Amino acid sequence: MNAIVNKWYKNHSLIYKVLLFLATTFLIVYLFPKSGKFKYNFEKGKPWQSETLQAPFDFAIRKSADEIENEKQEILETSSAYFNVDTSYANDIFNLYEQAFDEQFKNDSLLQKRRVLFSLGEKIIKDIYKYGILKEDYDFKDEKQVVILEGQVQKKSVTYASLTKPDGFKIALNSALNNSDYLEYKNDLLSIFFDIIKPNLEFNEVLTQDVLDEEINSISLTRGQIEKETLIISKGEVVDEAAYEILESLEAEYESQVWSESNYNWVIFAYTLLVALTLLMLLLFLRKYRPEVFLNNIKVTFIFFNVLLMILLTVLIINYNSQYLYVVPLCILPLVLKAFFDARLGLFAHVLTVLLLGFIVPNSYEYMFLQIIAGIVTILTVSELYKRANLFISVGQITLIYIIAYFAFFVIHEGNITTLKIETFGLFILCGLATLFVQPLIYIYEKIFGLVSDVSLLELSDTNSKLLKQLSNEAPGTFHHSLNVANLAEACANEIGANSMLVRVGSLYHDIGKMKNPSFFTENQSHTLNPHDELSSIESAKIIIDHVINGIEIAKKNNLPDRIIDFIRTHHGTSLVYYFFMKEKSNNENIDEELFRYRGPKPFSKETAILMMCDSVEAASKSLKEPTSTKIDAFVESILDKQMSEGQFLNANITFKEIELIKKVLKKKLANIFHLRIEYPE
């Protein structure tokens, strides 16, 4: 049982990667649409590149979105509006009119005129109540068809213009009395009508909308039928408008019929294979070319998380509205990966992500071309991300590339620019603005995953930071030594293409452990008294060796990133504290060498190897007497050759050629430090 547990524990890192791989594959497949893909690619206005195509089954030609929209507009214009009429009041209106009229006209001398006026008023009432009076005026065209309902029964069907508006009785009265002998009685009749005329037509909005929805839902989505084995298009034939609509209809029918529920499991299985294959390529790339990343499960998780995040955002946008597809800032992926790792890894992961998205996006070839080109531009243009101007310039270049490439594809598809929508370019501008979110995103990732970017390194390199200020006050000699080492290491890193910012920051903090016992280190001794004179060689060596452990403790207490702590751990490797070792050996031949040896580990990257070389050279250079170019060259050669002979660089991915380049830089820098000049003849 213990053997099994030990075996599992020994391989826990690999097991975690397998589980991460499976989980990511499952989530991506879950996000993908559960349907197959049409096996033919076609574009309007381009030749048909596949074999001559015949209809594999009977299918209907689907109407375009514009055709369906036009039919909807036609229905909206021709559909009827429904009104409920209240007939109860209209039946009593004449009795009310007669009573109001008698009250208004009591003078018997006007008997003849009263009869004419009374008849005129009755006629007006009959006219305005013929179809009914509206409670309010609605925004309908005059020719709009109106259905009048009495109860639930259709009574009449007229135009909207036939209905009397709320103030229609005024218009009717003016029309009847104008140019007549009874114009003087207009106000009297008007006052009667004001009292008795009430609207009796109410708009039935619910029924009108229900009928409208029913008519719209009854719109046929297809027109015409293609019989099985009918020739659709021949090889080399240009895909015109008609052929394009037929091919789109076939694609939709193909995916709905062929990829039916019975084949669902096969579709899922096929998607799983392709996604797993793509993610496997990413893992193999890390294992072969980025082994330090592959061995770090947090970093592998970080990469997979970002790939999954980009796919999730794209799927959400497609499900909402595929027209906004290019708003997704996919170039954030290579930007983030370049900030934390390197450009090659960023581009590789970006390309694989775009390949995965090619399964689900419309116009997949166009989308993949644009995104891959944009990713390449991102990698080529973005450098020193911690400089804000660089990011803004790069985002501008990325946006410009998007616009140019999209314009080119549009012209190829349409053959002209008359139908080009300027709004589409706005989507690319929004994408560029969203890409600027990479700065706060990098900060968030640093806190969540414990990674370090150039932005954080720039902050840590500030010599006014709390920890470096403390080092400057408590161990000024060590601080000065660290600055010199940082300058040397940065120059060496630039020469061989290593991370100069990282090695500079690592150099600034590599000796912070000396703050615990600063006076025991020669660079901090300002007087002739040496505290080591009162200690044995073993005790002195222990204090010297412990500055590494003390440095790690101080770094962790001050929340320095692990990548910086690695410099503290490795800057002496497993070398000997040579001075005290030889001092003890002169008194005792049988000594334990391990008591005088640093605990390691050895440097395991170019940057940590550079620090070891520069630290040793800078510290030992203080002992040079009357330095000359020849002395400096021999001095640098002897120190670095000794470190190589001890195998200090065996774990670092640094070559002999790079070490030789570092030697040249160190020789040149030391010569400048000691101000060597050509000796002129007297």
Question: What single string gives the DSSP state of each residue in 27-63?
Answer: HHHHHS-SS---S----TTSB--SS-EE-SS-EEEEP
Distance from the first to the final alpha carbon of the chain:
86
Q: Give domain status of residue 679, yes or no.
A: no
Domain stops at, among 406, 429, 449: 449
One domain, residues 200 and 225: no
Closest residue by Cα to residue 570 from 655, 645, 652 = 652
One domain, residues 484 and 577: yes
Beta bridge partner(s), residue 238: 47
CATH number at 548 reads: 1.10.3210
Beta bridge partner(s), residue 535: none
Q: Give domain status of residue 650, yes or no.
A: yes
One domain, residues 590 and 472: yes
> Angle CA(500)–CA(505)–CA(511) in degrees, nearest 5?
130
Q: Which one has a higher pLDDT value, 642 or 115?
A: 642
Q: Which one has a higher pLDDT value, 349 or 38?
A: 349
Q: Which one has a higher pLDDT value, 528 or 455?
A: 455
For 146-151, the CB contacts below 8 A with 24+ separation are: 146/80, 146/81, 146/82, 146/83, 147/80, 147/81, 147/82, 147/83, 148/83, 148/85, 148/201, 149/82, 149/83, 149/84, 149/85, 149/204, 149/207, 150/84, 150/85, 150/87
Give the 3-state DSSP-derived string for 285-307, with helices as H, strands as E and coil as C. HHHHHCHHHHCCHHHHHHHHHHH
Q: What is the mean pLDDT of residues 284-298?
A: 91
Q: What was the pLDDT predicted at 262?
A: 60
CA-based R_g, the chain, Å:
44
Tell me how many domains the chain contains. Answer: 4
Q: Give domain status of residue 69, yes or no.
A: no
Residue 260 reports pLDDT greater than 90: no
Q: What was the pLDDT predicted at 117?
A: 76
Q: What's 516's DSSP letter? A: S
Q: Is 456 helix (H, G, I), strand (E, B) or coil?
A: helix
Q: Give domain status of residue 333, yes or no.
A: yes
Q: Give domain status of residue 680, yes or no.
A: no
Return the minimum-mean-pLDDT range out of 1-15, 125-139, 272-286, 625-639: 1-15
> Angle CA(134)–CA(139)–CA(141) in degrees, nearest 5?
95
Quickly state the pLDDT bin for 168 (edges 50, 70, 90).
Answer: confident
One domain, residues 513 and 601: yes
| Distance of alpha carbon 287 from alpha carbon 510, whole angstroms | 30
Closest residue by Cα to residue 361 from 400, 395, 327 = 327
Quick one: tokens of 79?
């559909």
Return the minimum-mean-pLDDT range out of 87-91, 235-239, 474-478: 87-91
Q: Residue 133: CB partners within 8 Å, gap ≥ 6?
A: 163, 164, 165, 166, 168, 169, 197, 198, 199, 200, 201
Phi-psi region of 53 (alpha: psi -120 to 50; beta: other; left: phi over 0): beta
The rounded Cα 308 to chain-centroid distance in angstroms is 11
Angle of helix 343-357 relative to helix 332-340, nearest 10 degrees, comes to 150
Residue numbers of the domain that contains 55: 37-63+220-258
Domain stops at, among 237, 258, 279: 258
One domain, residues 177 and 253: no
Q: Give domain status of residue 68, yes or no.
A: no
Return the minimum-mean-pLDDT range out of 159-168, 457-466, 631-640: 159-168
- Give the number of C-alpha atoms closer than 13 A to the C-alpha of residue 578, restricted to the C-beta side: 7
Q: What was the pLDDT predicted at 490?
A: 94
Q: Give domain status of residue 407, yes or no.
A: yes
* Highest mean pLDDT: which range of 175-184, 260-269, 417-426: 417-426
One domain, residues 459 and 587: yes
Quick one: tokens of 218?
């009854």
One domain, residues 166 and 59: no
One domain, residues 159 and 253: no
Return the minimum-mean-pLDDT range out of 102-106, 297-301, 504-508: 102-106
One domain, residues 227 and 343: no
Q: What is the mean pLDDT of residues 171-200?
A: 73
Q: Which is it for strands 145-150 and 81-85: parallel, antiparallel or unpaired?
A: parallel
How does pLDDT run across 197-208, given as a tens digit for each residue? 888 888 888 888
One domain, residues 603 and 548: yes
Could you tell me the pTM of the whole model?
A: 0.64
Q: What was the pLDDT predicted at 411?
A: 83
Q: What was the pLDDT predicted at 259?
A: 53
Q: What was the pLDDT predicted at 152?
A: 73
Phi-psi region of 229 (alpha: psi -120 to 50; beta: other; left: phi over 0): left
Residue 367 reports pLDDT greater than 60: yes
One domain, residues 639 and 494: yes
One domain, residues 198 and 226: no
How does pLDDT run across 564-614, given as a tens digit for each residue? 999 999 999 999 988 888 887 777 777 888 888 999 899 999 999 999 999
In this prediction, what percent of the chain has a pLDDT beyond 70?
A: 90
Residue 91 reports pLDDT greater than 80: no
In this prediction, what percent of the chain has a pLDDT beyond 90?
A: 31
* Highest mean pLDDT: which range of 25-39, 399-413, 576-590: 399-413
> Angle CA(59)–CA(62)–CA(65) in degrees, nearest 5?
165
CA dist 587 to 199, 580, 642, Å?
Answer: 123, 11, 25
Domain stops at, among 402, 423, 449: 449
Q: Give domain status of residue 682, yes or no.
A: no
| Distance of alpha carbon 455 from alpha carbon 461, whole angstroms | 10
